[in-house]
Amino acid sequence: MKKRIGIFGGTFNPPHIAHKIAAEFCRQELDLDKVMFIPSGNHPLKDSIDPEHRLNMAVATFSGDENFEVNEIEIKNKVEKSFTVNTLRELKEIYESDTQFILLIGADNLLELHKWKDPHQIFDLAQVAVMYRPGYEIASAENQFLSKVTSVEIPLMEISSTMIRDRVMKGLSVKYLVDPQVEVYIKEKNLYR
């Protein structure tokens, strides 16, 4: 039987509890052996803090769970821009043929998937699972890829990295929104100020 690894990419700027909860829901619903978090290197569509800070916070957030791991493939590559299709190709070369990858994306990403590099090849390299929140009608989205994806309903959590950065900028607490180690790291490194 093939080993099933969920690929959860993102800027993780910073990673927070909603990332963990969404990943655990996907792990259970999709019968994944593991969820691999991949902090993006130089994201083609987003600006971010130093990738090493994001990697360190991802390790602090996700490495305490045996069902989760952090892979630094995109950050270590130091290419001008990181693309999902290239990362999946590299992972296919690294992992044995008995590994099946399931790319975990948000419903918002499904709507933008046609803008990604080589989106059709992504489906050749991995199964794609779309995480959506209650009340979001994924079936109503007009999308050329809709018939190719699996959907996973995750709890509605009004937590975002943007909200956390804004709270830090305003001097407000992010306790319980991020891992305690991440809260300390943000303070020690004076991030998002």
Range of the domain at 29: 3-157
Residue 21 confidence (pLDDT): 97
Residue 170 confidence (pLDDT): 98
Residue 96 confidence (pLDDT): 82
Domain count along the chain = 1
Residue 81 confidence (pLDDT): 83
Domain holding 136: CATH number?
3.40.50.620
Residue 141 confidence (pLDDT): 55
Q: What is the mean pLDDT of each run of 10 residues along the chain (193 residues)?
A: 96 97 98 98 69 96 97 87 93 93 93 92 97 74 79 93 98 98 98 95
How far, in Å, are 21, 88, 139, 141 from residue 147 at the CA level? 26, 21, 9, 11
46 within a domain of the structure (yes/no): yes
169 within a domain of the structure (yes/no): no
Q: Please report how the helices 17-29 and 51-62 are oriented relative to each other, as an axis angle in degrees rounded to 10.
A: 60
170 within a domain of the structure (yes/no): no
pTM beyond cutoff 0.85: yes
189 within a domain of the structure (yes/no): no
* DSSP string computed for 25-61: HHHHHTT-SEEEEEE-SS-TT---S-HHHHHHHHHHH
162 within a domain of the structure (yes/no): no
Residue 4 confidence (pLDDT): 98
